[in-house]
Amino acid sequence: MKVLFDTSVLVAGLVESHPMHAVAFPWLEKAKGGEIELLVSTHTVAEIYAVLTALPLQPRITPSVARLLIDEIIKTSVAQVELSASDYEGVVSRLAELGVPGGSIYDALIAWAAEKSGADQLLTLNERHFHRVWPEYRDRVTRPS
């Protein structure tokens, strides 16, 4: 089964003190064990870096530690889904048609990567965000449990 991981699940799985670590981490373990094919959008790699280095933790996650954590994800990941300039243009057009403003663009880019890759599931802690930007595939949006 091909599962594209949202940033929210990856961060929760990587950070032990995260309140959702216990539900996210087993999914990373499934990927390491080959039970599922973990997909990551190249856009998500940038988001993970931004979130990890901004978390209000003590001690803070430094940029170099964030890079090491991202390297672990990439090594576990079977496939990174790259988005082209035309993918970005298409997502902007789609959100304009749906009337969806603002920061939802970031979720829409991840949803597009899931669609582009043929993912069976998009794993997220923010299901409603993805239902809004990817309504025709709402049945593929899953919360880790």
Residues 77-115: tens digit of each pLDDT: 778 999 999 999 999 999 999 999 999 999 999 999 999
Spatial separation of the C-alpha atoms in residues 115 and 137, rounded to whole Å: 9
Domain positions in the chain are 2-142
Residues 3-12: tens digit of each pLDDT: 999 999 999 9
Q: Which CATH superfamily is domain 2-142 in?
A: 5'-nuclease (3.40.50.1010)
What is the model's pLDDT at position 75? 75
Task: Give whole-number Cα distances, 115 to 46, 52, 137, in Å.
Answer: 19, 26, 9
What is the model's pLDDT at position 79? 84
